[in-house]
Amino acid sequence: MYICSCRPSDQPLTSGGVVEQVAGGASTMADVIERTGAGTNCGGCAKSLSKAKKTVARLAAERDAAAGRRGATWPTHDEFARADSAVSKAVLA
Ligand code: FES
């Protein structure tokens, strides 16, 4: 789902895009915002970004645990789908 439709790059930030940022090393929503510029134009997505903060932190912890447990890249295909859904649900809650 779309979270920020007018970030500076003109590429919408989606729930999957948030997961990709976590996979790339973002550990907080502030990290996601810094990396993507989400929320820095009209501000209309501020509430959505805020609602997903805890989910981003939880996904980052899952990423770190997976790296420690299996030394593998997070997320697997199934983990990506679950993480994408979790971000969407957090925004819609
Ligand atoms: S919708 Fe995110 S800054 Fe406008």
> Per-residue pLDDT tens for 39-54?
999 999 999 999 999 9
Q: Which of 1, 4, 34 to mutate to test the pocket of ligand 1 (most atoms within 8 A of CB)?
A: 4
Provide the domain limits for residue 13: 2-92
User: CA–CA distance from 36 to each of 33, 39, 61, 65 (Å)?
Assistant: 5, 9, 20, 24
pLDDT for 15 beyond 90:
yes
Ligand 1 atom closest to Cα of 42? 4
Do the beta carbons of residue 2 and residue 13 sit within 8 Å?
yes
Count: domains in the chain: 1
CA of 86 to the centre of ligand 1 (A): 20
pLDDT value at position 52? 98
pLDDT for 9 beyond 70:
no
- Tell whether ligand 1 has an atom less than 6 A from the beta carbon of residue 91: no
Pick 58 or 6 by higher pLDDT: 58
What pLDDT band is residue 3 in, cutting at 50, 70 and 90? very high
What is the pTM for the complete model shown?
A: 0.92
